[in-house]
Structure 1
Amino acid sequence: GRKGDEFAYSHVVARAFDTDHHQLRISSARLHDALQGAVAAMSEPMVSHDAVAFYLLSEEVSRHVKVVQSGQGADEVFAGYHWYPPLAGVDGDDAGATLDAYAGAFFDRAHGGVCDLLAPEWRLDHDASRALVAEHLSRPGAGTAVDRALRLDTQVMLVDDPVKRVDNMTMAWGLEARVPFLDHELVELAAACPPELKLASGGKGVLKEAARRIIPAEVIDRPKGYFPVPALSHLQGAELDLVADALHDPAAKERGLFAAGAVEALLRAPNDALTPLGGNTCWQLGLLELWLQAQGVR
């Protein structure tokens, strides 16, 4: 299974800078106990597994400091994600090709797949997500397909997902997270860099080269990772029970969001239905219901 720690790399950084290093190991029981608090702290449903990890990290950090710096934005500003390289060979003036390449690399579920999960009365007769992305990518002012995708991600995805997620989880504990990679002058400078400089070295090339004078190479050149929470990517035990209880709750049945049989099929095999980007569909549906119930939405 996936490892849930990055201590090997944090040790390297701690040694290089002689920092006062702290490790936080989270037991399964503590993770489970924190889920309800993390969900309640969300300003909207957030299916990313790392939300609860940031929640627990913020709880610990808030005992010692009240302001921290976060790396949010570096991937969106300097092209660090895996869906940018496929756009490098696409003609930026070809809106259809740009949309197809972006959707093929980044979209986590087809419109038909969403409809299969929803009750008929909640289904749209058109692909609203694709239409939103198509409109944004077609706007003037970005010269290449990569630049169009970066503009979309910095203006839409970044502010509505990772930045909001970290802000929600830190503020739940009275902790302020600042984002130096989103300093407007740095973002403007990065936007002016040719895409090939940003895509170099597996992404964030220009940032990596600037950092080599300071950051150890084994950290810069490591395989890209995220903030893994294995218990939510592979549901079992208490976490699966929590999801099942939420989806079977009378409020969920009264709401009737999901297609008949879809929930039971997922609960019978909760780890078989993975999205193209590796998300657990059962967790995603459960999280939506957990959030709605936490907010008292009927």
Structure 2
Amino acid sequence: MCGICGVAYSHPERPVEREMLRQMTEIMAHRGPDSQGFHIAPGVGLGIRRLSIIDLETGDQPISNEDGSITVVCNGEIYNFKELRKELLARGHRFKTHSDIESIVHLYEDHGEECVNYLRGMFGLALWDRNRRLLMLARDRLGIKPLFYAINREGIYFGSELKSILMSGGIERDMDVKALKDLFNLGFVLSPKTLFTRIRRLLPGHYLIYRDGKSSIRQYWDVRFPARGEDTARRSQQEWAESLRAKLEESVRIHLRSDVPVGAWLSSGIDSSSIASLMSMNSDRPIETFSLAFENQRFDEISQQKTLKDFEVYNVNNRQALCTAKDFELLPEAVWHCEDPFTTGVEIPQMILSQLASNSVKVVLTGEGSDEIFGGYPWFITHKLLQPFTILPRRMQRFLARMPAVRRRWPRASRILRAPSEMNLARYKFIIDSGISEFDDRIFSDDLRYKLSDQAGVEDSLSLPQEFNSWHTFSQLQYLEMKVRLPDYITRHLDAASMAYSLEARVPFLDHELVEFSTQIPPSLKMRGVQEKHILRQAMRDVLPREIAQRKKRGLSAPYTEWVGNLPAFASELLSEKRLREKGYFNAKLVARLVEQWEPGKAIYGKYLMGILGVQLWDDLFMKGCKPQMQ
């Protein structure tokens, strides 16, 4: 795992300032404390901070091919590098290292831009082809690793973190107000947007080509599901479960490839427990696991339920961190690393867990991705239960949605009933809506509302596969989940929280071969009645204790309402009318009223205030260019 950055100018002979490239690289030192490297040539500069995981001695980057005409920097891991190396050696290529990354330059020699199709792993990479004067940026299929870019008349700037691009000094710092609206509607910013108008995210499964001052983007992979009717049980449940377990075992094995110790995050749920138990099966030594407990018992699943650490057969050596109210003071650091504000604060517990793990290992395996590929989130259940209502006239659906009892007891159901009937990005936004969009734009300042009104007709779009409408609605929802919330929120903040402490987080559930297999499993086996992830529970029933395999999902959450009710001095100051007016994003009087009226039962107020506080901090950290004092 690393942090990469660089620039390619539209003028081929323009020199790259080494000091600028050094600053772009240095700002990501937390991503790679082991070494740094540069490649500077006329019109181009590549930089990297390396976290050494594979080939500790000779694997430093940038890495070039035999004659130095192709150079790559890569953040991530290529898990099938041993198999690729064997094939490339047989074709006459010569290797200088035992690094997983060196296979990329030789694949490019043979296949050009299509080299990404041969990579199995997580990556954000930049490759410079000297002979063609071509820069290629590419991101892994599921968006596990981030990659940002900005293009102007001078050229293209890129980085694993957008703060690296800002350090170039070549990009203006203008806020994208539509991205800010995303934050308060959904809890995250929809790609390819960022909070900066001129900085964009490269979408998962895409690569970008920059040459002669012109750029083009191409998709090289996408998720595909069988048509409704074709997804009927071609195998029995037992056959699907056995095949799934074999695929997951193989994914865990390949994710264990490392020259440094590998641990695992462990909660009381089936996802992380599945990963840790399969790790244990592949090791004759105790597995190092790391768990999170909360001072507030309402959020503490570890102390109240048994986990793998309570069963001797799994040979687990577990360490535990405690999240307390005082940890809210980590908010500036969390916003700095996430580079976006947030509305629930789960990023803070993730950072605490990452810090604990980084004291013992450099790599952890996590359970992220299971909810996406098996439909484990609560809205999958709500959506299924509401399917019969879709045959009602729209007027009747809207009437039901407006009923006070429905809005009060089942707010998500109310939002889904008001959503467009056709499954698309617009409906998906209603389905996952965090609830805070129930407030209108009055929370924003007059100036910001005016800017939003200018863009009122500009709608977000997501290109859907031609065969999308032929899929089961459960599969359609899964597709949108994997294309939107997974890369824009789940893996985005997993990467930020782990890399803040130089920790590589690997996600076996998001191995693209496992994902492709999972799409073929019938929806009726993914959700049986209202039991989510049914097929995974069946696959792991002979591996996990029954009480863990059948345990209902309980996601990681943070006591943000408690935190908001006990604001530290820095937070109270940022929410003061004076500071709110200075920054100009919010209606200062309305925010003051929210602070006054806040009470623990009003979770929506807590989310809103967390988001507002995050934006105020973000402005200090990024618009003003300040770096927080790290703990």
TM class by shorter-chain length? 0.7 to 0.9
Contact 2:447–2:584 (CA under 8 A) maintained in structure 1: no
Determine the C-alpha separation between the residues in 2 that align with 1:56 and 1:210: 31
Cα shift at 1:109: 3.9
State which drifts further: 179-188 or 111-120.
Answer: 111-120
Determine the C-alpha separation between the residues in 1 that align with 2:577 and 2:436: 28
**Max radius of gyration: which structure?**
2
- What residue is the counterpart of 2:339 in the other structure? 43
> 2:552 aligns to what SS in structure 1?
coil
State which drifts further: 115-124 or 96-105.
Answer: 96-105
State which drifts further: 20-29 or 238-247.
Answer: 238-247
- What residue is the counterpart of 1:107 in the other structure? 433
> 1:98 aligns to what SS in structure 2?
coil
Of 301, 306, 322, the residue aligned with 1:25 is 322
- What residue is the counterpart of 1:98 in the other structure? 423
- What residue is the counterpart of 1:4 in the other structure? 299
Percent identity (aligned): 24
- What residue is the counterpart of 1:120 in the other structure? 446
> 1:223 aligns to what SS in structure 2?
coil
Can you give the 5+ residue segments of structure 1 that lack an aligned partner in the other structure? none
Of 146, 149, 152, the residue aligned with 2:474 is 146
Of 493, 499, 511, the residue aligned with 1:165 is 493
The amino acid that maps onto 1:21 is: N
Q: In the TM superposition, what whole-angstrom CA distance separates every residue of 1:107-147 from its partner, at most 9, and x where no partner exists? A: 12475624121123323347789x43xx4486533312221
Cα shift at 1:168: 0.3
- What residue is the counterpart of 1:258 in the other structure? 586
Q: In the TM superposition, what whole-angstrom CA distance separates every residue of 1:9-34 from its partner, at most 9, and x where no partner exists? A: 774311331311212223333x1342
The amino acid that maps onto 1:14 is: K
Of 592, 596, 599, the residue aligned with 1:268 is 596
Taking only aligned residues, the RMSD between alpha carbons, in angstroms, comes to 3.1
- What residue is the counterpart of 1:213 in the other structure? 542
Contact 2:344–2:557 (CA under 8 A) maintained in structure 1: no
Match status 1:246 vs 2:560: no
Q: Sort the Cα spacing of 1:147 and 1:83 in 2 relative to 1 into closer, same or farther, 3 A.
A: same
Determine the C-alpha separation between the residues in 1 that align with 2:582 and 2:315: 56
Determine the C-alpha separation between the residues in 1 that align with 2:585 and 2:596: 19
Determine the C-alpha separation between the residues in 2 that align with 1:128 and 1:26: 43
Determine the C-alpha separation between the residues in 1 that align with 2:562 and 2:577: 22
Q: Sort the Cα spacing of 1:280 and 1:110 in 2 relative to 1 into closer, same or farther, 3 A.
A: closer
Q: Sort the Cα spacing of 1:103 and 1:137 in 2 relative to 1 into closer, same or farther, 3 A.
A: farther
Structure scoring higher RCO (CA < 8 A, sep ≥ 6) equals 1
Determine the C-alpha separation between the residues in 1 that align with 2:303 and 2:603: 28
Cα shift at 1:177: 0.2
State which drifts further: 185-194 or 264-273.
Answer: 264-273
Cα shift at 1:72: 1.1
TM norm structure 1: 0.84
Q: In the TM superposition, what whole-angstrom CA distance separates every residue of 1:215-268 from its partner, at most 9, and x where no partner exists? A: 1221222232122322x2323564364432222285542221112422101111
TM norm structure 2: 0.42
Determine the C-alpha separation between the residues in 2 that align with 1:121 and 1:192: 49
Of 188, 202, 205, the residue aligned with 2:531 is 202
Contact 1:34–1:56 (CA under 8 A) maintained in structure 2: no
Q: How many residues align?
A: 290
The amino acid that maps onto 1:268 is: E
- What residue is the counterpart of 1:284 in the other structure? 611
Of 337, 360, 369, the residue aligned with 1:73 is 369
Q: Sort the Cα spacing of 1:245 and 1:128 in 2 relative to 1 into closer, same or farther, 3 A.
A: farther
